[in-house]
């Protein structure tokens, strides 16, 4: 099952909110660290509403690698 071409809604939302600023895979790593740190700051009852484990970080990294490859091909 997919959501707007992504594995799930959680992964799609990460791309919507952060993806425009990614230039390389390292940027995805930084986003992952940021999201995980901010998640931990939320009250436990709010954390229960969010499935942070559902985010497909590998899929997001692959997406950025494909963009990097396209950029290199057309440079």
pTM assigned to the model: 0.90
Number of domains in the chain: 1
Distances (CA, A) of 50 to 16, 42, 53, 68: 17, 10, 9, 30
User: DSSP label at 20?
Assistant: G
| Residue 75 pLDDT exceeds 80 | no
Q: What angle do CA 6, 31, 46 make, to 5 degrees?
A: 80
**What is d(CA 8, CA 55) in angstroms, rounded to the nearest whole number?**
8
- 4: in domain: no
- Range of 25's domain? 9-73
Backbone CA torsion sign across 12, 14, 16, 18? negative
pLDDT classification of 41: cutoffs 50, 70, 90: very high
Could you tell me if 12 and 6 are in contact, meaning their C-beta atoms sit under 8 angstroms apart?
Answer: yes
Question: What per-residue confidence (pLDDT) applies to 74?
Answer: 86
- 2: in domain: no
């Amino acid at each position: 099952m997919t959501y707007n071409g992504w594995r799930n809604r959680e992964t799609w939302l990460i791309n919507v909110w952060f993806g425009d600023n990614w230039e390389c895979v390292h940027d995805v790593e930084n986003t992952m660290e940021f999201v995980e740190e901010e998640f931990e700051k939320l009250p436990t009852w709010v954390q229960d509403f969010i499935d942070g484990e559902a985010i497909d970080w590998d899929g997001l990294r692959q997406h950025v690698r494909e963009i990097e490859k396209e950029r290199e091909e057309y440079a």
